[in-house]
Amino acid sequence: MEEALDKLAFKLTTPIVVEILERLRFEEKIAFRFFNWAGHHEHYSHEPDSYNKMIDILSSTKYKVKQFRIICDLLDYMKRSKKTSVPIEVLLTILRKYTEKHLTHLQKFAKKKKIRVKTQPEINAFNLLMDAMCKCCLVKDAEDMFKRVKTKVKPNADTYNILFFGWCRVRNPSRAMSVLEDMINMGHTPESFTYNTAIDTFCRAGMLSDAAKLLEFMKKNGTTMSSPTAKTYAIMMTALVQNDRLEECFGILKDMIDSGCLPDVSTYKELIEGMCLSGKIEAAYKFLEEMGRTGYPPDIVTYNCFLKVLCDNKNRDEALALFKKMVEVNCVPSVQTYNILIVMFFAIGDSEGAFETWSEMERRGCARDTETYCVMIEGLFGCGDSRKDAVLLLEEVINRGMKLPYKKFDTFLMRLSEIGDLRAIQRLSEHMRKLYNPAMARRYALSQKRKSMSLRDK
């Protein structure tokens, strides 16, 4: 086609190109070839009208999903060639036509369930486009596009959230707060998740004063959906502790309790984990003492959270000191407490410590559960000299008729096959057949196979 066109001696103009493209609107591939040929012609250059016609053809075809990348390339070429800015009507037409195909199933579902869809289809695609730009730190470009579009398409809460997160990402709290105020003025209510994400972003960037201002803004302007939660206070307090501002942390804690927002397990966990990971063990102890003084003494769940963080970090001395403190304040250790300690002892290669913990449970009258036996047996199998003890414990499990998790059965059978104990394998297999039917065994085998295949693909 290109050779035949080169032989024709005629002057190309924008109206002629637009007319030819209109005739080829149902042959998008040929139309695009002609468009490219015309663009390389010596005495002709594309004008906005020809670009708009080509974009309209590509976004209207049934293959528009595949052609969308070409549309983006055309828009990019127009921008780089400094022809003109893309008319907002053209951009919205592309977004509308592109999203109509993907939202067909959603619209059918809404119609079937008699749900009234209030959002325009193109706003969803526009939000995705803005989100992608903000994640690439092109927040200024995203805001400029937003200002051009908002007169044609009504932005929703997601649009403002995306811009808000974008300015937080590039560490510009003043612009972020401006977007937040616009969002509220437009009648949209920010959720706690929006504020929490922003506060966390500011804290990670070391902008604690800006995070504190946002927290005050939440207190004054927050509603039921956007008032500070335990999560909000936990993020702020963790950041203050990590920056050696312990007194301010306790001040936030007092404000939290005075406002009626009581600390929960997740609050304790996040705070203690943040303190321990930053090496502020003493601060974590002071926090527990402060909680006791304010009338909310830590319970066994709180201590277990603290203990698990110490054990996961293999901090043996601090873990045992905390266990001793629990006993001193008459907080009775639970079976989970002992399980956490046993796992830690095996992780640091201290099988004697694990046995002492095992015996301590019996002395204190704490009944061992299935998890206790599992962590003990698995740990003993990992110690070369203690495999016989693992087999004896496994025999006790069988004699007591305890139902182990199916995955543990599989692990223990593999361990027994490694040491070649055929009698124990037979005993465990018979016990397994009593508790699990063959159908479940097949389902488990298939799930494991799928899991291994998915990992292999990755």
- 307 or 281: whose pLDDT is higher? 307
Q: H-type helices in 205-334, by residue range?
A: 208-221, 230-242, 246-258, 265-277, 281-293, 300-312, 316-328
Integer Cα distance of 69 and 94 in angstroms: 12
Per-residue pLDDT at 387: 79
Q: What percentage of the chain carries pLDDT values higher than 90?
A: 2
Q: Where are the beta strands (DSSP E) in 67-159?
A: none
CA distance to 252, 272, 306, 387, 441, per residue, from 234 (Å): 9, 10, 15, 44, 44
Record the pTM. Answer: 0.53
- 274 or 443: whose pLDDT is higher? 274
Per-residue pLDDT at 339: 92
Rounded mean pLDDT, 236-251: 80
| Straight-line distance from the first to the last Cα atom of the chain, in angstroms, rounded to the nearest whole number | 44
- Contacts with 235 (C-beta within 8 Å, 6 or more apart), sequence order: 196, 199, 200, 203, 270
Per-residue pLDDT at 126: 74
| Residue 61 token pair | 């075809």
In the block, residue with structure tokens 């707060």:
177
Dihedral sign from CA coordinates of 406, 407, 410, 416: negative
- The verdict on residue 92 lying in a domain is no
- The verdict on residue 38 lying in a domain is no
- The verdict on residue 420 lying in a domain is yes
For 245, which DSSP code?
-
- The verdict on residue 403 lying in a domain is yes
- The verdict on residue 221 lying in a domain is no
Question: Other CB atoms closer than 10 Å to residue 83's CB: what's the count?
Answer: 14
Range of the domain at 404: 391-458
- Contacts with 152 (C-beta within 8 Å, 6 or more apart), sequence order: 88, 89, 92
Per-residue pLDDT at 341: 92
- The verdict on residue 283 lying in a domain is no
Per-residue pLDDT at 458: 45
Rounded mean pLDDT, 148-162: 80
Integer Cα distance of 388 and 415 in angstroms: 12
Mean predicted lDDT score pLDDT of the chain: 76
Asked if 128 contacts 149 with a C-beta cutoff of 8 angstroms, the reply is no
- The verdict on residue 437 lying in a domain is yes
- Contacts with 424 (C-beta within 8 Å, 6 or more apart), sequence order: 391, 394, 395, 416
For 386, which DSSP code?
G
Using a 10 angstrom Cβ sphere, with 0-12 exposed, 13-18 middle and 19 or more buried, the burial of residue 96 is: middle
Asked if 425 contacts 417 with a C-beta cutoff of 8 angstroms, the reply is yes
Is the pLDDT at 395 greater than 60? The verdict is yes
Integer Cα distance of 205 and 98 in angstroms: 38
- Contacts with 79 (C-beta within 8 Å, 6 or more apart), sequence order: 85, 86
Number of domains in the chain: 1
pLDDT tens digits, 75-130 = 556 555 555 555 556 666 656 665 555 555 445 544 554 444 444 556 766 777 77
Which of 251-255, 266-270, 369-373, 401-405 tops mean pLDDT? 369-373
Per-residue pLDDT at 116: 47
Per-residue pLDDT at 457: 46
For 422, which DSSP code?
H
Spatial CA neighbour of 291 closest among 278, 277, 309, 275: 275
Spatial CA neighbour of 369 closest among 339, 410, 401, 399: 339
pLDDT tens digits, 180-224 = 888 888 888 777 777 788 888 888 878 888 888 888 888 777 665
pLDDT tens digits, 41-72 = 777 877 777 777 776 776 665 554 455 556 56
Per-residue pLDDT at 80: 55
Rounded mean pLDDT, 158-162: 85
- The verdict on residue 383 lying in a domain is no
Asked if 13 contacts 21 with a C-beta cutoff of 8 angstroms, the reply is no
